[in-house]
Structure 1
């Protein structure tokens, strides 16, 4: 038995493919590789294919309050908040993240003004990473956008928190296609493994510590007048 037991942790992978189920998603192929490591060490894993759900466009928690007839997001985001680990996974199109990836990030951002019990932004105390797939260049470009967005709303990003696979530039085999070389690619496999373990380690550290310490980062305290040792430049000697 492994010495590493993360059975108290939960993870959610959001697959931002453009393909509705049951169409094969190459992104999900790489998700499976990361999820398998987590499951082996006791993490509870959920995978959600965002395009299968009627998620409205917008930057409010419930877009039915802003003119949309339907919005699946209010049923989805409690699952996100219940997860210690979030992995946004998606394909590259035109050198950038998919439209579904952008929509999911916008809906996460819709909650960024909410606060936790400490008065911090809601996503504090959770960790996140990303997976990118495609057959054109852009893994690092797409990852930096996703990881910046996630840390901006409060997620803790561990070292080496991105992984991906791209085939030969231009039309060609995708990750799960026979002969693509994707599942055998050592660079991809190494990065996926490092990302997965760093997510588990960081999530466990945050859980054991009770989240990020609640000092110097509490919106409620700042609004009440606390300045946490910040000195207004006008009064500095």
Structure 2
């Protein structure tokens, strides 16, 4: 019991702590590099257990996990992606459309499986705890489950790609998702040949990571100060 208490109450050892940060900093939104070999069900169960242990406001646990292996169904989802991408293209700045067309933005059919993580908005409708002033907290809690799944997958050497270019209504129809359930994340999941050193969009010149020191404020929005913290943040992120 003492060992359990010490584990809960104290910081991780150096190796364990570095492993957590390594998973965070080396996590990638994988669109390519997927291998087709299957994921062992025991490993997938561990990832889902990690997702299921995400924080949830009011302990509502609003998430469900739809595992999608059927190739025909995934091809249908990819058709939805292609249609949504065609709709999105005209809204991209004209000078960036050529780059947009070149970007690999999904691995729906190449990955070992797909996973749709949903939010059941009726699961805690009778409990206002944490939701009275912010009814979106069930959706935010589900996003925490997505992040848990993603980081655990990185620790297992498994890639995850979030496909956000999808029409939610069409996806719900295809997967038989009830009206009161929201598809929060559609994920491509599988073993990969490599994890890129840089995020794909950064490597392709779409955007760069913002300096952390520019995002740290003191006491109020745009409040100045915290110079020592900003210097430490610069030193840390400069190594990543």
With normalisation by structure 2, the TM-score equals 0.23
Please state which structure has a larger fraction of its residues in helix: 2
Tell me which structure has the larger Cα radius of gyration. 2
With normalisation by structure 1, the TM-score equals 0.23
